[in-house]
Amino acid sequence: MNAAQLRQYLTDGLQWGEIMIVDHIRNCYLYRCVSPRIARAFDYLRDTDLKSLAVGTVELDGSLLYAIIQEYETIPPEQGRWEAHRRYIDLQYVIDGSERIGYAPLGRLEAGVYEPERDFLPLNGMGEFLTLTTGDFMLLFPEDAHLPRIAVAVPALVRKVVVKIAVAR
């Protein structure tokens, strides 16, 4: 979904549903209208020297908003695992490198047993894959299943931040 589609989506008063957003960080201003927490997450990505941060968790607003700085080698698709979250929106931003991330509307996959302590729902099935490179982000809502960390061609090092944004209920 691009910014124009998102604006129309919000204007029509529809509920969130099969709505994953992929774009480049230079366009993050287009998505600030979604929620104040999402705006703050984009501010963090824009205003922080992410390359200098150590791997680990950075609290931005307690359990309502925090960032997980990651560095890993991508994996073949057969080693990945589909997942979704109920309590958090994921803002996945590639600091350096490239990876493929699978996407599917939650209802198209077979759900496993939800683990509330980890806010982790394992899933099985098939989806589409998108390639994210340095500066790209993917905004994933609770209705969006995803399969991160997949190699583009061969395994390679990726530095990424996942900002966890609590869902307002």
For residue 14, the model assigns a pLDDT of 40
Q: For 24-67, what is each residue's pLDDT tens digit? A: 999 999 999 889 999 999 999 999 999 999 999 999 999 999 99
Residue 7, pLDDT score: 54
Strand order through the sheet with 136-140: 21-24, 136-140, 88-96, 157-166, 65-73, 56-59
pLDDT at site 19: 75
Which range of residues forms the domain containing residue 146?
Answer: 3-166
Q: Which of 106-110, 138-142, 164-168 has the lowest mean pLDDT?
A: 164-168
Residue 43: which CATH number?
A: 2.60.120.370
The pLDDT of residue 90: 97
Tally the domains of the chain: 1
Each residue of 76-95: pLDDT tens digit? 999 999 999 999 999 999 99
